[in-house]
A = this chain, B = another copy of it.
């Protein structure tokens, strides 16, 4: 369901800058992102609001499609807060999707249950010219309202994390028309139509920068950029497709909200992570599970790291999960560190496993 079908359900709020939320209470997550090491490592879990939670499935069933859920502030706010009530992580992540940006720019975006996102792919210059990044703020007004609602209800010691997809990753969906395994269409397009590709990445930089700044103005206290498919970028295009657009967004956001830390999460880029950190200007870096602890500690010399328990351990639970989580904590919690997963919680994960993991991390502080 598209945003313009939703005016009967949500009350769009005029976009206007607001004061940044400044909690008096210290927040372990924000402290870690500023390079501090607190009494225990902070934690949150990617996709902590999601299908593995029965209370999520209940609200999801009431919504008229996935985007409807993202664009209905009361529901999106409730979903954002559900894992906070259950597990009390140190950060709530806004419930939304990286594909709200192409939706806002005018591309047809849908989600089919069990199959993932389906977009009418951009296949021509005319398709490209129909996209308009200037529509972002109006179209995504419900998301900013969600941010306000969440921040108003969130305990002071829980930070609110906004996010967006990095341009390359969002572009893969826009050109491929959905998920891809080999990314040949989008990569072929970048090669054959470099100026169109540059134009689209430029639009995405513009829209994403506006979107993130508006999230901060509505109450987000930190931001994460997801570059999930950075792994697919050939070495020779890494600067153009990953580094440069990310740096432009970081520069643009920091020019307007300099104090809000930005976490970069470029998955599967292995040895290029240190360059990614240095060249984009991000404040902290998310780690996937292929990153060794040696590499992670080297990165900690440059910036705080976030990660990297493989979500397969959370799916499995029990002593193997406990041992693997302890290993992550033992190896990384002495430096600036946010405990997280290496990617999102799998939908079949028993929430008791998530509860146990949250308790384990909190106990770490009690024992320290």
Contact = CB atoms under 8 A, between A and B. Distances in A.
Interface of A: 179, 181-185, 187-188, 190-192, 231, 233-236, 268-272, 289-293, 295, 310-313, 315-318, 320-321, 324, 327, 342-344, 346, 348
Contact of A231 (B231, B316, B344): B231
B188 A235 contact: no
Contacts of A182: 311, 343-344, 346
24 contacts: A179-B181, A182-B311, A182-B343, A182-B346, A183-B312, A184-B348, A187-B310, A188-B312, A188-B315, A188-B346, A190-B312, A191-B312, A191-B324, A192-B316, A192-B318, A231-B268, A234-B289, A234-B310, A234-B342, A235-B291, A235-B293, A236-B289, A270-B272, A271-B295
Given A191-B316, A231-B231, A270-B271, 12 more contacts: A183-B312, A184-B312, A184-B348, A188-B313, A188-B346, A191-B321, A234-B312, A234-B342, A236-B324, A270-B270, A270-B272, A270-B290
Contact of A346 (B184, B292, B346): B184
Nearest to A270: B270
A315 B192 CA distance: 9
Contacts of A235: 289-293
A197 to B, nearest CB: 11
Total identical chains: 2
B271 A188 contact: no
B268 A271 contact: no
A233 B312 contact: no
A180 to B, nearest CB: 10
A183 B292 CA distance: 19
